[in-house]
Structure 1
């Protein structure tokens, strides 16, 4: 039986390990420098982002643009630091390969992460077009609330129900944007109904005076009153008036709307004006021993025996 010689493979393995150890010891100074450089570039990136944001704030008060530009500047400095660190470690070929592969990787990532790319580009467009600013009350993609920030991928909205919603920038761009803070005012449309027996001219006069004297109402001459419908049990009208928005908390949208409803109800009570309500009609079958055969809800002011 031939003798198996395992000494040669063992020697080769040991030689390799010794070479790796020697190379590691030789690279220790470079590795220490690389670690220090990477830490330095991390600190530099954070400081540069802060300084860049301050400089940009002097040129524009657009916080969305400041946040987005600062983030891009931060990652640019980190990327530059990474290439320098790789060069210090003697990985020039790796640097060259990375630079050569950036284009190919970019194309591949563009197809693989189309949504991320679309959100990133949409974030840049939002930063420059400024359809809203931080703190504005908006409705985005069916979600209403206050804008807290716009970053590379999402726009963060705090709803009035106390929820934080992250909306992809692509969805923000592709859907209508309702900005309730842009013009500094908002209109309240309040529907009301009165009885057919009431004097409509008197109703209009009472409601108009009531709203014009209401605290928080602006541009009282722009108040709009119109009857728009003969309802089943009432003649319906709409009163439209303007308030500052967002405005002070004590005169917010819901508060002024509530005060308007209470004021109109009190004025109607003082002038004996009726706000009708649905009445249930009960029908009896006189030919049957069962007194009640049908119950239906109808918009009526009389009962049928």
Structure 2
């Protein structure tokens, strides 16, 4: 019975101490509550203001959202630490900071790839080497960019497939941006017979390509010979076209082939077929007609033997 009374008296004493401490802390609690409300309000106002300002300097929605969110969380963290200081919980602040550091270190090791993709996405968003709608080639993938996030880049291939490439792969490997200049050069391989007048062929090709689809008129058309082939003299017809989609390039190249073929037909210029030599197993010095006559005689003799 005495033990129970002692326990009750101890409990009442503790409750009384806590009550007195609570009464003494009431002003601090009131100030802390006001400070917490003000922190949320100010952080929200600043975030909304930053959203309007950042848009003027950056056109990446993902990056803009990241910056405003980080600033918003930082303001909330500062206000939270002030609240703990008002409540005289400084030791708790130190413990929280230590815990955050340990947790951050553990998460850094656990999510290295995610962190690398995130950081790569931030750098890409800042440098802006390409944007939505650009035609690029990277990591053996070719297509138009549909979406850029802080984790992946979505590429739509010309055949319709959607590829989601991690930002780390794009950041660490070469990227060819075909849309950055708005124009692209077409190199078309052509061959003509060895008997043709090469200078005349050059002039005919240049005239034929004057009205190719999407051709950039300010750039010269070039027809440059580059090789003696097995059955033809080969040259490259080079010209520039406006480029925003892959169909611009493909249609212009197709149109150029049609115009060159028509020009060659009109001017009796021959595009030679490859020459092939057939080996009948004839020994050197023996004529083909004599060899055929010998084979025919053998066949006749064999037929006669079969009849007897």
Common topology (TM > 0.5): yes
Q: Is the 8 A contact 1:68 1:150 kept in 2?
A: no
Aligned to 1:254: 250
Shift of 1:213: 2.6
Q: Is the 8 A contact 2:47 2:69 kept in 1?
A: yes
Q: Give the structure with the higher percent helix.
A: 2
State the SS of the aligned residue for 2:277.
strand
Q: Which has the larger radius of gyration?
A: 2
User: Given the alignment of the two structures, is residue 116 of structure 1 paired with residue 114 of structure 2, yes or no?
Assistant: yes
Shift of 1:120: 1.1
Aligned to 1:165: 163
Aligned to 2:230: 232
State the SS of the aligned residue for 1:67.
helix
Aligned match of 2:195 in 194, 197, 201? 197
Aligned match of 2:278 in 261, 275, 282? 282
Hey, what's the Cα distance between the residues in 2 that align with 1:161 and 1:196? 40
Shift of 1:138: 1.1
Hey, what's the Cα distance between the residues in 2 that align with 1:191 and 1:126? 37
Aligned to 2:211: 213
Hey, what's the Cα distance between the residues in 1 that align with 2:48 and 2:192? 61
Structure 2 vs 1, CA of residues 147 and 286 (structure 1 numbering), >3 Å: closer, same or farther? closer
Aligned to 2:105: 107
User: Given the alignment of the two structures, is residue 67 of structure 1 paired with residue 65 of structure 2, yes or no?
Assistant: no
Structure 2: which 5+ runs fail to align? Answer: 1-39, 84-88, 284-290, 296-308
Hey, what's the Cα distance between the residues in 2 that align with 1:48 and 1:269? 72
Structure 2 vs 1, CA of residues 221 and 76 (structure 1 numbering), >3 Å: closer, same or farther? closer
Hey, what's the Cα distance between the residues in 2 that align with 1:240 and 1:50? 53
Aligned to 1:302: none
Q: Is the 8 A contact 1:187 1:243 kept in 2?
A: yes
Tell me the TM-score normalized by structure 1.
Answer: 0.67
Hey, what's the Cα distance between the residues in 2 that align with 1:80 and 1:167? 34
State the SS of the aligned residue for 1:167.
strand
Hey, what's the Cα distance between the residues in 1 that align with 2:210 and 2:240? 10
Hey, what's the Cα distance between the residues in 2 that align with 1:195 and 1:53? 66
- 129-138 or 107-116, larger mean C-alpha shift: 107-116
Q: Is the 8 A contact 2:47 2:71 kept in 1?
A: no
Shift of 1:200: 0.6
Shift of 1:144: 1.3
Hey, what's the Cα distance between the residues in 2 that align with 1:231 and 1:173? 41
Hey, what's the Cα distance between the residues in 1 that align with 2:121 and 2:228? 49
Aligned match of 1:131 in 114, 129, 135? 129
Structure 2 vs 1, CA of residues 221 and 245 (structure 1 numbering), >3 Å: closer, same or farther? closer
Hey, what's the Cα distance between the residues in 2 that align with 1:67 and 1:51? 17
Q: How many residue pairs align between the two structures? A: 240
| CA deviation profile, 1:90-148 (whole Å, cap 9, x unmatched) | xx999875543222222222223222221111111111111011111111222111112
Q: What is the RMSD computed on CA atoms of the aligned residues?
A: 3.5
State the SS of the aligned residue for 2:131.
coil
Shift of 1:73: 3.6
Q: Is the 8 A contact 1:157 1:166 kept in 2?
A: yes
| CA deviation profile, 1:9-59 (whole Å, cap 9, x unmatched) | xxxxxxxxxxxxxxxxxxxxxxxxxxxxxxxx9xx99x9989855543333
Shift of 1:71: 4.1
Structure 1: which 5+ runs fail to align? Answer: 1-40, 292-305
Q: Give the structure with the higher percent strand.
A: 1
Hey, what's the Cα distance between the residues in 2 that align with 1:75 and 1:199? 70
Task: Give 1:259-270 correspondences, 5 Å limit.
Answer: 259-270=255-266
Aligned to 1:21: none
